[in-house]
Structure 1
Amino acid sequence: MLFSLNQLFPSLNKVVFLDDDIVVQRDLSPLWEIDLEGKVNGAVETCRGEDNWVMSKRFRTYFNFSHPVIDRSLDPDECAWAYGMNVFDLEAWRKTNIRDTYHFWLKENLKAGLTLWKFGTLPPALIAFRGHVHGIDPSWHMLGLGYQESTDIESVKKAAVIHYNGQCKPWLDIAFKNLQPFWTKHVNYSNDFIRNCHILEPLYDR
């Protein structure tokens, strides 16, 4: 669906994409004013932070550079970027072949026996959006709340969007207890849908 956004919304010029494991903590309307300088995708780049686990991702993190197809096509030092909170300029997108590039690489990976990259949707998107990404300030989108417990709490509080990417989702028992309340404080535990999903209020919130 993501790679059909420009076709699904033919009357829209721009959209903000939000993943399902994020929390919005402040007004996102200023995102509309960011000059993407003709690029399609406004995203936080993940190779420029001091965090060696979450914010040090380059193409070598995702792709199998021992495979000749990848080795001759990509640069292992190229900076990666984050899904989860993205600004897409649909007008700029309509002038590209991003969708075709994405599908081409999905087919190449099938031909290679699914050995070109690790599982996930980000690797083929990294290829498809190459040259079409404009880096935005990291305070718009803070990553890694599902990866590591040592996330800086003050930075979490200040971020516009916090992202529980990783296995330790805030609705699971394995969630990091110091990071879970940023999600649980917004949950209506009496809601029928929440109850049917067996999402229970953490003991420390009671």
Structure 2
Amino acid sequence: MNQLNLNNYKQEIADLYTRRSDKYDNSDWHWRIANRLVEYGQVNTGQQILDIATGTGHCAIAAAKLVGSSGKVIGIDIAPGMIAQSQKKANILGLNNLEFLLADAEDIDFPENHFERIFCASAFIWMSDLVKSLLLWRKFLKPGGILGIQAFAETAFVGGVITQNILKKYGISYLMSQPTGTVEKCQKLLQKASLELIEIKV
């Protein structure tokens, strides 16, 4: 598997999730989030799907079962351990319409107007530049396609909120929940990325 040339911030994320990859499926929480996102995304037979920060492939696998043999799903992740786990699951399930790639979601190159659906579950907040990421991904989306992102509420992680407040006192920026923690924040963020027909479900 090819190694990515990552900065320190992204390498830490890749290492963290590779360490977590063996036990990532012990909880069904990620699976439920992914299924809900794919359900909202109205995936149909024959579609081309991109799953960003696929983890152990929850969204990608759910989508691959829906698009059938005439469709194709690509799942990308920054962590080699996650990609290995995803591929193992796809092999066991015999999903030949599914491909997993080691890739940095903020530095990817796909054909423009290629995917009917693009998903990002549980990982959007890790992107270095949220608006820039959305603008990049939107280029790969076909006209009328759906970009579906799951974001966390401000109250989702009490420990994270406390950490954020402490770091703020020392002038350290910590992204969690700042741009995505409320419906209003999500609305503004998606509008900045020039997305249309925005729908936010809680």
Query: TM-score over 0.5 for the alignment?
Result: no
Q: Which has the higher contact order (CA 8 A, sep 6+)?
A: 1
Structure ranking higher in helix proportion: 2
Higher CA-based Rg: 1
**TM-score, with length taken from structure 2:** 0.31
**TM-score, with length taken from structure 1:** 0.30
